[in-house]
């Protein structure tokens, strides 16, 4: 099924609970700051409940666990500048880092975004990096598990 602009994250009637960020009743839970497994303050909101809660919900953010501007983009940019003709980007992994919310699938953690209350959004450097070997690799030295991944030549 095609999901346009990740609207399934906010759709309480989404059939697959793994894809949505809220419960079937519309409750959203804060995931806590990037280094915590959960929100210590237990922030919860239901923007479907009232106009006021929708306004408050607009202050919530998506926090990249591995930072987009400090880790992901500089890594891709540096790789392109150093070797512009012989690199391949694993677009599935790049998409996961930039746009997928953090969730457990098949006993594996996927995604890089955490929905957080503005109070829990830690703006300090995260000091976490993405797996360079999984994101960017030379054309003829790909790991075997990446052969099936969608790739784009730079």
Is pLDDT of 117 > 90? Answer: yes
Is pLDDT of 119 > 90? Answer: yes
Comparing 109 with 64, the larger pLDDT belongs to 64
| Average pLDDT of every residue of the chain | 81
Lowest mean pLDDT among 14-23, 35-44, 51-60, 136-145: 136-145
pLDDT at 43: 96
pLDDT at 116: 94
Kindly report, residue by residue over 29-72, the tens digit of the pLDDT.
999 988 888 899 999 999 999 999 999 999 999 999 999 999 99
* 3-state SS, one letter per residue, for the chain: CCCHHHHHHHCCCCCCCCCCCECCCCCEECCCCCCCCCCCCCCEECCCCCHHHHHHHCCCEEEECCCHHHHHHHHHHHHHHHCCCCEEEEHHHHHHHHHCECEEECCEEECCEEEECHHHCCCCCCCCCCCHHHHEEECCCCCHHHCCCCEEEC
Is pLDDT of 21 > 80? Answer: yes
* pLDDT category of residue 6 using cuts at 50, 70 and 90: confident
Average pLDDT over residues 94-119: 81
């Amino acid at each position: 099924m095609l999901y346009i602009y990740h609207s399934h994250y906010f759709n309480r009637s989404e059939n697959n609970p793994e894809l949505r960020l809220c419960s079937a009743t519309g409750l959203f839970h804060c995931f806590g700051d990037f280094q915590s497994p959960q929100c210590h303050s237990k922030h919860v909101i239901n923007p479907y409940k009232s106009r006021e809660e929708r306004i408050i919900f607009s202050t919530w953010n998506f926090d990249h666990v591995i930072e987009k501007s400090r880790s992901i983009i500089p890594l891709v940019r540096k790789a392109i500048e150093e070797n512009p003709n012989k690199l391949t980007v694993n677009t599935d992994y790049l998409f996961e880092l930039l746009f997928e919310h953090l969730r457990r699938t098949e006993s594996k953690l996927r995604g890089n975004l955490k929905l957080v209350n503005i109070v829990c959004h830690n703006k300090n450097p995260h000091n976490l990096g993405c797996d360079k070997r999984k994101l960017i690799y030379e054309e003829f030295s790909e790991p075997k598990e990446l052969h099936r991944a969608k790739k784009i030549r730079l």
